[in-house]
Amino acid sequence: MKCWENNIKKVSPYVPGEQPKGKDIIKLNTNENPYPPAEGVMKILKGYNADNLRLYPDPSSEELIISLAQRYGVKPSQIFVGVGSDDVISMAFMTFFNSDKPIIFPDITYSFYDVWAEVYDIPYQTKPLDSCFRINESDYFCENGGVIFPNPNAPTGVFESLDKIEKIVKANSDVIVIIDEAYIDFGGESCIPLLNKYDNLLVVQTFSKSRSLAGARIGFAIGNEKLIKYLNDVKFSVNSYTMNSLTQRIGAEAVRDEIYFKETVNKIINTRENAKVKLKELGFIFPDSKSNFIFACHSSKYAGIIFEELKKRNIYVRYWNKPRIDNYLRITIGTDKEMDKLFQALECILKSE
């Protein structure tokens, strides 16, 4: 090891889902939306004046924030935007998790949380989900430096009730509780109404899933004005111009088109519910998903084998060789046509020795 390596932070990085290249690929491994962005977004992209790129973007992201405030019925000063919800949560880790006490999150959850904790030298503990992949709320009634978890959870798709979440938020009034709602639009009730009761709650959402803008990288948080101010103080101490001007415009337009938003979300929900029926017929077992994916294991065929066999057929799903979930596949909901091809491939794989 070189001497200069002694002062380098060494962490195990987050591993994103594979981005396969080529034709005739069915990509069901990264929870992207299978449908295009709203028509208004497409019009902006086609007519955008590239000369605007020589100018710095609005550091306050005013147009985007105003559209979000109107959509969610909050003040603009209650909204923070970032380059994807990953950026938003990363900023929140830096801003709010600075205690000597460990932050806590589930043992089966979004695998970026422990990475951020290690990057920022934040102590953490994981709390085991039960055998049905549900949170034991009493595990979070303890001294800690902060709480974070997704709802619906990733990668399981399990949704926890608003009553359970409120109990956790209420029991942790001396720390910040972050609810990561990346998949909330596909089922369940958002925690946003709880913001009127709890000043320690931060709700994070994304445009990557339900608004078909994963490539644009837009995330946002809603909280009380003081929390948002603290987040912006950190953001502007790191980079004042985190979101480009084109992204701000298309993000605002995507929020305005509520009709298209609901249409595509409902399409995915309907396809998901049909997929549950078909997967059960094929012998798969899974918790009830309220997200745009299903977290499934087969009653007799090992997940790792199914994963590799699907790849041979140019069908990509997500697989983790980790404790407790090494026999599960996370299957993103695609179009009806894509899902039919998946089911056909699974039938062939399951019949083979």
Looking at residues 115-129, what average pLDDT do you find? 97
Question: What distance in Å separates the CA atoms of residue 13 and residue 31, rounded to the nearest whole number?
Answer: 20
pLDDT of residue 353: 62
pLDDT, average across residues 193-222: 98
Residue 22 confidence (pLDDT): 84
The contacts of residue 39 (CB under 8 Å, 6+ apart) are 257, 260
Distance CA 304, CA 292 (A): 22
| Poorest-pLDDT segment among 10-19, 23-32, 153-162, 338-347 | 10-19
Query: Helix 39-47 vs helix 245-256: angle between axes, to the nearest 10 degrees?
Result: 150
Name residue 204's beta-bridge partners. Answer: 180, 221
Mean pLDDT of 304-315: 97
* pLDDT above 70: percentage of residues in the chain: 100
Can you tell me the distance from the alpha carbon of 129 to that of 198, in angstroms, rounded to the nearest whole number? 25
Summarised one tens digit per residue, pLDDT across range 66-117 is 999 999 999 999 999 999 999 999 999 999 999 999 999 999 999 999 999 9
Amino acid identity of residue 65, one-letter, is: I
Neighbours of 163 (CB within 10 A): 8
- Output the pLDDT for position 241: 87
Query: Where are the extended beta strands (E) located within 157-216?
Result: 177-180, 201-206
Span 24-48, mean pLDDT?
Answer: 96
Comparing 8-12, 61-65, 112-116, 202-206, which segment has the lowest mean pLDDT? 8-12
* Other CB atoms within 10 A of residue 80 CB: 27
Domains of the chain: 17-36+259-351 (3.90.1150.10), 39-256 (3.40.640.10)
Query: Are 289 and 272 spatial neighbours (Cβ–Cβ below 8 Å)?
Result: yes
Average pLDDT of the chain to the nearest whole number: 96
pLDDT digits (tens, 9 = 90+) for 140-199: 999 999 999 999 999 999 999 999 999 999 999 999 999 999 999 999 999 999 999 999
In this structure, the strands spanning 284-285 and 318-319 are unpaired
pLDDT at residue 313, rounded to an integer: 97
DSSP annotation of 55 reads S
